[in-house]
A and B are shown apart, each in its own frame.
Chain A
């Protein structure tokens, strides 16, 4: 029997989207029922719908000379109380001397068109629509004798103010970061790109959470195929909840089984705006400051937004350092194991002697030492992130002093190993993208095992497999390893190097593909020069 014969796997029967999800069942029958003409009937409908919801509130009042009863429905807390009191209620109460029909169906239109002092108003006809509106922070206004309702936007949820980003700090550059409110986030981008070509399309995902998701792109710059693909993939998502953009990320990425992230995310409006301007598509999710941006190439994970604000020579130098530390973070412990246990002749003699001296009396093999220290380090890092801040400091002291110093003094671990692990830890912090650093962290352990079993040969095999995997990845059709494979000289201007802004004449080719006539982003020959005195 051939062990590796590939067989057609039995496909599980598709669940079929015709069956309603569990969360859906008791809602479907209500959602499409139209509103009733009778106000009392509507009130009962909504009262049963929102039974046991203390934050649900309604207000009945009679308006105009005819004393027509109207009903306001809203949810406390997500609506702005001031708007309801001062604008909605006041404008309703102020209807005094006008003539409303006793049972006329155009009373609603009168209210909407003549009296309401609110900009954002829409009409609804079903209970489902009305309950959606109520739950997203609008006030539903129902009038006796009309089978329609008004959706008056009074959204006023208490959110975090725009504050400095936590995960992507810069020395020079804008400080503001996204917050949890989708509208604020899109506004931060709109503020930077003032053109009607910046399109924002709305999706509502999650049958229960009804999370609003917006995709933003620059029409005429973004690749229409990528935009269409993003829309298609997002519209295929049919889940009950979306609480963070990672939910979307995992459902729209190209290759689900890989350690490498294929979609970048950021909480910096300037980074997202820069991405949109070079033809990428941003995906905003309500409730999280992290905005996804597609398509992403590997190099973007090694670039920070500050690269574009520092002088280009320095930015290039920093990127080179990052590449160096990326390699250290991936390979250093493995290299240490391979060289000291298999390839002693590669070490300089004096280094061999000092490593030998340092390892004298160490009870465990190098591989165990390194794994032990690496795992300890990972635990320390994890503890440092999760624990409350005051405790976190204690952890770092205990971790640094007790594990580092005492382990060496007790002769449990050789000091060289501590140096190697510490250097690796620092190197992994040199990668700007946290999610990419996670991939490197995982792969480092694979490399350690390979190095401990097969030496440099094993490391080489591991790198080979990793490289083959990297070049096989795609992010929304764009090769992940571009612009190195496939090689593109013009796109190299912003990969390892960062050319000055006057030399960034064209957008990246692979992202803005199929837009050949619109690749140029600025005038050429913008290089500054002192004035010519002969002229």
Chain B
């Protein structure tokens, strides 16, 4: 009897547990999700990008895919009254089990972002498969267009997007946002959050047109499809997209929210700018940088003291007249760079206060941290107070290195 029971336990082991057993080749791993909504309609349009490595005749032996250009992915679409319903509806057309745990990013279409993302957030946060580290981006087109776009050098475009956003963390002008950061800001004191903005741009055509104009003949080059770029930032205020920061503001925004590190400053070299045909643009690579925002509440006004310290390396002079070896010259360059940074920051903050009326720098958090008691009084009225906040920007730029050479080689003086 005891033996029989033991055997039965062993056999039952073979029967149980298999309910979530799936072979990998019976799965459809979703790498990216795109969400769209037609305004004035309840229905959510879901676009998913699924990696299907065996789909396009790859070399099965090594798991490597032949024919670099052709992507190894398929795109599926479905609709539903809610996000989760749309995901369920995918199963009506997919022969394979939809696997969401490898999803890298979510793309929000313009229509959806502008009408509000409140209802989809709940499912994203609640679902077991979604990761807090997944990227979130917005587009000024529809998400469907973005996800159907091939990205050069990548077989699965969504992985390419993933790499672009990962690189932003080290060296980039745009702040990449994952779910965690996005929701934290949205739930924060200012209720303002932001995501990178993906766009489809005809860079190739622009370049071709300009060159054609210059050489005044049609260029002998093939027409290429539009390119996917991420260079701007979409601002969300209370679950709704309220506006877009342009490239310069986006860069300054990153300086304010995170740090200037990894970015660069470009400005015109004043004394000799137009003298001998050089454009005279000087570029500094920011090797280290720090932004400290200290709020100060006086009797009648709130002041934000913004102190930016930048350590940089001279990357390009673009003109022959810069005497890099002269400490005075370097000092002047530092002053000029600081002025450039300051102007840019002022412009960005101005956009926030006057144009978008959204506290996307996060002044609210700083105030809350430094003045918790006072914050309670102004919290409810923050939307009105924010545009009146005074900003004192101080900037300190230091040039620590001039690269491999000292004075520009094109200059009249020899290098000694």
Contact = CB atoms under 8 A, between A and B. Distances in A.
A344 B25 CA distance: 11
A355 B17 contact: no
B31 A408 contact: no
Nearest to B99: A344
B17 A341 contact: no
B94 to A, nearest CB: 15
A245 B27 CA distance: 54
Interface string A321-353: 000000000000000000011101100011011
Given A356-B27, A454-B16, A458-B17, A344 B102 contact: yes
A395 to B, nearest CB: 25
Given A341-B23, A344-B101, A349-B29, A408 B61 contact: yes
A415 B23 CA distance: 15
Interface string A10-51: 000000000000000000000000000000000000000000
A454 B13 contact: yes
B20 A342 contact: yes
Interface stretch (B50-58, B199-207, B352-360): B50-58
B259 interface: no
13 contacts: A3-B4, A340-B23, A341-B24, A342-B20, A349-B29, A349-B102, A355-B63, A356-B24, A357-B63, A357-B65, A359-B25, A360-B25, A457-B17
B214 interface: no
Interface residues of B, number: 36
Nearest to A450: B13
A352 B61 contact: no
Contacts of A7: 2
Contacts of A358: 60, 63
Contact of B18 (A345, A349, A453): A453
B14 interface: yes
Contacts of B29: 344, 349, 352-353, 356
Contacts of B17: 453-455, 457-458
Nearest 7 A-B pairs (CB), nearest first? A360-B54, A3-B5, A345-B101, A357-B53, A354-B63, A454-B17, A357-B63
Nearest to A358: B63
Given A353-B29, A356-B51, A453-B13, A3 B2 contact: yes
Interface in A355-399: 355-362, 365-366
Contact of B24 (A352, A455, A457): A352
Nearest to B55: A360
Given A349-B102, A353-B63, A361-B60, 13 more contacts: A341-B21, A341-B23, A342-B21, A344-B22, A344-B102, A353-B29, A357-B65, A411-B60, A449-B14, A450-B13, A453-B13, A453-B14, A455-B20
B238 to A, nearest CB: 33
A1 interface: yes
A257 interface: no
A236 to B, nearest CB: 30
A409 B60 CA distance: 9
Contacts of B342: none
B53 A353 contact: yes
Interface in A255-276: none
Nearest to B10: A449
Interface in B158-179: 159
Given A355-B63, A356-B27, A453 B54 contact: no
Nearest to B9: A3
Contacts of A350: 159
B254 interface: no
Nearest to B20: A342
B215 interface: no
Main secondary structure of the interface of A (DSSP, over half): helix
A4 interface: yes
Interface in B34-87: 51, 53-54, 58, 60-65, 72
A457 B13 CA distance: 12
B23 A1 contact: no
B16 to A, nearest CB: 7
Interface in B332-360: none
Contacts of B62: 415
Contacts of A458: 13, 17
A352 to B, nearest CB: 6
A411 B14 CA distance: 27
A6 B24 CA distance: 44
B147 to A, nearest CB: 16
Task: Among A341, A355, A365, A411, find the residue whose CB has the most chain B CB atoms closer than 10 A.
Answer: A341
Nearest to B155: A353
Nearest to A362: B25
B156 interface: yes
B261 interface: no
Nearest to B21: A341
A415 B60 CA distance: 9
A458 B21 CA distance: 13
A220 to B, nearest CB: 49
B373 interface: no
B1 interface: yes
A353 B101 contact: no
Task: Among B22, B29, B129, B156, find the residue whose CB has the most chain A CB atoms closer than 10 A.
Answer: B29
B18 A354 contact: no
Contacts of B24: 340-341, 344, 352, 355-356, 359, 366
Contacts of B251: none
Task: Among B2, B63, B65, find the residue whose CB has the most chain A CB atoms closer than 10 A.
Answer: B63
A80 B76 CA distance: 90
Contact of B54 (A340, A357, A415): A357
A6 B65 CA distance: 60
A381 B341 CA distance: 71
B309 to A, nearest CB: 38
Contacts of A361: 25, 54, 60
A354 B21 CA distance: 19
A345 B156 CA distance: 18
Contacts of A357: 53-54, 58, 60, 63-65
B110 interface: no
